[in-house]
Structures are given as structure tokens and as C-alpha cells.
Structure 1
Amino acid sequence: MQVAKVSKKRWLPWIMILPVILIRGITTVYPVFMTFINSFRNLNVIQGGKGEFIGLQNYARMLSDEKIATSLGFTLIFTMVSMIFHIILGIVLALILNMKFKGKKFLRTIVLIPWAMPMIVAGRAARWGFNGQYGFVNDLIGRFVENFHYDWLIDVDSARIAVIIVDLWKDIPYFAILVLAALQYISGDIYEAAKIDGANAVRAFFSITLPNIAKTVLSISIFFTMWRVTNFELVYAMTSGGPHDGTAVLAYKILIEAFNNLNLGYASAIAVVLFVIMLILSGLNVAVSKKYLK
């Protein structure tokens, strides 16, 4: 009788969480599984694909698709450049917010306004702002440079720069607030002792501040990097991947192939590649966390 009670107690937790497991399986595991299956099938609705098995043809097409190569290249550029400036400018902004001055609480509040704005709204506003005819960016620069005029979103390089600038404007405040939280845990006595020993502000930053916030910066940088890789809302709202697919990221190409071109098989293959990239980043995340974030 006692054995039966123990057995029932062991099963009770699993019975309680079974609905959650089923919901998670239906909404996550099943779609991922079907994406892998569909990547090996012909599901081009426009061309009459009926889901027949075509092996690695979708993946072979990706190797010769210049648009995919361009998207992959910009995804890497966008992620790397954005994260470099996230770290540098995020730390600088966090240091400013950590200073003692009047209105500090108010500044900490309003600095999060860009982050609180939905990415679609920010992208659409940026599209107007960088417009070559009536955008406020040209108007602002024109106040300092006479007769300044530039079509930011017409040229590939300048469009990419504009996308990265808006991404930084949108998310650096949140990055800085997280770094600021780490700065709050550094005791002021350490800085006082360093000042008595003759350390200036620069020396104190590299000897005290940076070592104490390094783990926090590293951990949040990993997650911000993964968010950059999967982000497509900004490109969708701001440039629609143009000009000439120069600002299209892999996540955006999945959207276009699936819902515009109705080529679900090819879109699934791109999604699998993106999934592998995210899997590698997740592995690096675990490895780095075990080594440096103990």
C-alpha cells in the first residue's frame, strides 16, 4: 500500500505539468520538426509544388543564390558592428547615468523611451526620418552643412549605416540600464581607496569598473547578439530589405520567401540554416557562461 502511494506521488508532478508540456510541444517542438521536414520538400505554391520530397535541392539552391549570400553577409555585418557599438556606447551611457547630478532619475526614465517603442514603429519613423526629400536627418545636418542633401535609403552602404544607427538608438538604452545595474554593486569605498593611492579616473575605470562589470557585459552581449541575428522587424519597416536586397537579413528573407513568394520549402531551408546559426551561438553561450560567468 505504501509503495502505491509513493508511486502516485512520483507521477503527480508530471500529471500537473502535462498541459504545459503539451502546449509547449504543439507550439514549439512540432513547428520546428515540420520546418526541418519541409526544407526537403517542394512547397512552392506558385509553381504548383505538392510537397514531394526533393532532397537537398533547397539547400543547393541557397549555395548559388546571390541574394542569400548578400543577406548572410549583411546579417554578420549588422550583428558585429551593432554589438561593438552596443558595448562601447552602452557602457559610456551607463557611466553617465551612474554620475551624481540633478535630474538623474528623470534622465534614467526618459532614456528608456526609444527601447519602449515597438520596433515596427521605430522602423517606420526612421524611414520617414531618413527620407532624402523631407526627412529630419537631412534637415538637421543641413543646419550645419549648407545645401546638404543625401538619399540615405537609395545607396546600399548608407542604407546599411542608417539601419545600424536606428538599431543602436533603439536598444542601447536598455543595454545601458542593465550595465548600470552592475555598476550599482561596486562599492564607492574602492574608488576612494584608489583615489588615495593616486589613481585617476581612467586608471580607476580600467582597474576597477571594467573588471567588475565584465561578466555582466559579456552575458547580456551574448543575448543581444542572438536578438540581432533573428531581428527582421526593423528592416521590414524601414527599408523592406532594399536597395537591391542590400539590407535584407536572413530572418527577413524567410518572411519574403514564405509569405511573398509562397515558397515554403525554400523558406524552411533558410530557417534551418538560421536555426543552426542560433544553435552554434547557444553553444558558445553555454561554453562562455561556464568558463567566465561562474
Structure 2
Amino acid sequence: MKKSAKWKLAWLLILPVLIVRGFTIVYPLIVTFINSFFEINMFKGGEATFVGIQNFINIFQDDKIIASLNFTIIFTVVSMIFHVILGVFLALLLNVKFRGKKFLRTITLIPWAMPMVVTGIAAKWAFNDSYGLINDLIRRINPDFHFDWLIHPWSAQLSVILVDLWKDIPFFAILVLAGLQFIPEEIYESAKIDGANKIKTFFKITLPMIIPTLLTLCIFFTMWRITMYDLVYAMTSGGPGDSTSLLAYRIAVEAFTNLNIGYASALALLLFFIMIAFSAINLLFIKKAQY
């Protein structure tokens, strides 16, 4: 078979996949881009009025959106910092040789295996002042303690971040653990012979060897943080006020509750460009790490 025929056959075989992916990704993106320049009234059969960039101007004049943007950035940055720190620490613990480590690795993934909506509902109960698990544990030390975590903006934000960390750090750690398995044992033996202690070994050998893995994981986990919707929906419904309203949750509210399709489309594009920016930053770090 000629080379040109092989290329034609290859394109023919992947064409169905390209059509499906184009329909599920490219087409919705194009429609969202077009809708962002219109004010669409769903109460009048989807009547669309061209408004130009007014939807984008309204974004930066909307206090609710500004609050959502602020919390989305705080949530993503803080969550990823602790994902890396605690994830690497947990991975190192799981990499220690001891009896029962396979069983421990298995049960470590239980929080990650739980659906996010179930986790959010359970967390809503756990942080309740009257009958929640968190305050019950604290009252065993201080019987007079009373605090409703989800009615104060700062504590509600902290609670959402903590629940997100509790759920996803185990999965992050298992993926880092997989990266640790590829570090040759001979390198550690040579470092031990040269008199390097465990701290020096970590910073001179382990960390540099897993940095590409960490940066790659950060791309995916950052995207998941930016687009998170279900945890906030189940746990706080964006409250109190709009203090825990992540941008993805605000898009859903504007689109399906307020039926403001044009405005929601503009917000979706904003979220899309934020994701591109974060991905570009991560890819830049990966490129530097490879050198």
C-alpha cells in the first residue's frame, strides 16, 4: 500500500471520531460565542436582540460576578497549593515499605470515590452547629463551643476549600505515588552512601524527579477546580450571599434559573479564557522543568 493511501485510510478511520468531537466541542463553543453578543429572552420564545459587547461590559459591573471571580481565584490557588504540599506528603507516606500498605492505599481512595454531590450534602450536615460532626468533636474539648460554619462568608469559603481538599487529595497523592515508582532505587542508594540525609535526598532527588508529574497533574486539577459546580451546589448553594458562588455555579444560575442565556454565554467564554490562561502558565512551567 502506498504511503498516500495509508494516510487516506488513517484519516478515514479517525473521521467519525473527529465528527463526534467537533459536534460536542467545536459546535457548542461557536454557539456560545455567538450567543454572548445577544440578549436572549426565553420568555418570548428565545427572541434574540444583538447587544454587541454589552454582556461582557456587564460582567465587570456585576457585584455578584466579581464576588464569584474572587472566590474562584482564591479557591483554585489555595486548593492547588495544598493539593501539591499535602498530596506529595501523603504520597511519600504511602511509598514507605510496611505491612498492609496495599490495603492503606486502597482505603485512601475512598473519599475520592464518593460522588461530589453526596460529599457536599454530607459536608452540609457535618458543618451544622446543632448536630454536625465537626462541632460535636470540638465540644468534646470545649462544651461551650457554638459556631455555624456555613452562615459566615469566610468560614463558608474555608469549609468549601477543606471539603474539596479532603475529597481530592487522596487521588492526587496516588497519582504522585505512581510517579515515585519510576525513580530508580539505585539513586537513593548512591545518595545514602554519599551521606545524604532524608531531607536532602527529597529536595535533591525526589522533588526534581517528580516535578514534571506534579506540573502535569496541576493542569488537570486546576481545570477541575475552576469548573467545579456540584460541591457548591450541594453544600452551600453559593451562599451566604454570593461568598461561595464559584464562576461555574454562577453560569448555571444565570442560564437555567435566571434564563439569561446571552449573559451566561459571555460568562462561559470568560471562564474558557481563564482556563486557557491557567493552562498556558502550567505548560510554561512544564517546559522550563524539562530543561
Q: Name the TM tier (shorter chain).
A: over 0.9
Alignment of 1:37 onto 2:38: no
The amino acid that maps onto 1:195 is K
2:262 corresponding residue in structure 1 = 265
Is the partner of 1:240 in helix, strand or coil?
Answer: coil
- 2:47 corresponds in structure 1 to 50
Partner AA of 2:182 in structure 1: Y
| 1:279 matched to 2:247 | no
Structure 2 distance, partners of 1:71, 1:50, is 28
Shift of 1:80: 0.6
Q: AA paired with 2:165? A: L
State the alpha-carbon separation in 1 of the partners of residues 49 and 289 from structure 2: 48
**Where do 1:98-247 residues align within 5 Å?**
98-247=95-244
**SS at the partner of 1:175?**
helix
Residues 181-223 of structure 1 deviation map (CA, whole Å, 9 limit, x = unaligned): 1212223333333233332222222122212212211221122
What whole-Å deviation, never above 9, does each CA across 1:89-140 have from its counterpart, x for those lacking one? Answer: 0011001101112211110000001111111111111111111211111111
Q: CA deviation at 1:6?
A: 7.4
| Structure 2 residue corresponding to 1:254, chosen from 233, 251, 254 | 251
Which shifted more, 238-247 or 207-216?
A: 207-216
Deviates more, 1:125-134 or 1:189-198: 189-198
Answer yes or no: is the 8 Å Cα contact 1:46–1:261 preserved in 2: no
Number of residue pairs matched by the alignment:
291
Q: Does the aligned pair in 2 maintain the 1:42–1:49 contact within 8 Å?
A: no
Aligned residues with identical type, % of pairs: 60
Structure 2 equivalent of residue 12 of structure 1: 9
In structure 2, what is the equivalent of residue 68 of structure 1? Answer: 65
Letter in 2 for 1:135: G
Please report how far the alpha carbon of residue 240 of structure 1 lies from its aligned counterpart in structure 2 after TM superposition. Answer: 0.5
In the alignment, structure 2 segments of 5+ residues that lack a partner are none
CA deviations on 1:238-294 (whole Å, 9 max, x unpaired) are 101000110011111100000010100110010010011112223334433333246
Kept in 2: contact 1:79–1:229 (CA 8 A) = yes
Contact 1:86 1:172 in 2 (8 A): yes
The one-letter amino acid of 1:263's match is: N
How far apart, CA to CA, are the structure 2 residues paired with 1:277 and 1:92? 29
Q: Which amino acid aligns with 2:42?
A: V
- 1:290 lines up with 2:282 in the alignment: no
The answer (yes or no) to whether the contact 1:159–1:247 under 8 Å persists in 2 is: yes
TM-score when normalising by structure 2: 0.94
1:60 CA drift (Å) = 1.2
Given that 1:95 and 1:180 are in contact with CA atoms closer than 8 Å, whether structure 2 keeps it comes out as yes
CA distance in 1, matches of 2:18, 2:213: 32
Gaps of 5+ in 1: none
Contact 1:74–1:248 under 8 Å retained in 2: yes
1:87 to 74, 81, 84: 84
Task: Please state how far the C-alpha of 1:10 moved relative to its aligned partner.
Answer: 4.5
Whether the 8 Å contact between 2:38 and 2:262 is mirrored in structure 1 is yes
Q: CA deviation at 1:46?
A: 4.7
* SS of equivalent to 2:241: coil
Tell me if the contact between 2:218 and 2:282 (Cα under 8 Å) persists in the aligned partners.
Answer: no
Letter of the 1:102 partner, please give it: R
CA root-mean-square deviation: 1.9
Structure 2 distance, partners of 1:101, 1:8, is 56
Once residues 182 and 54 of structure 2 are traced to their aligned partners in structure 1, the CA distance between those partners, rounded to angstroms, is 54
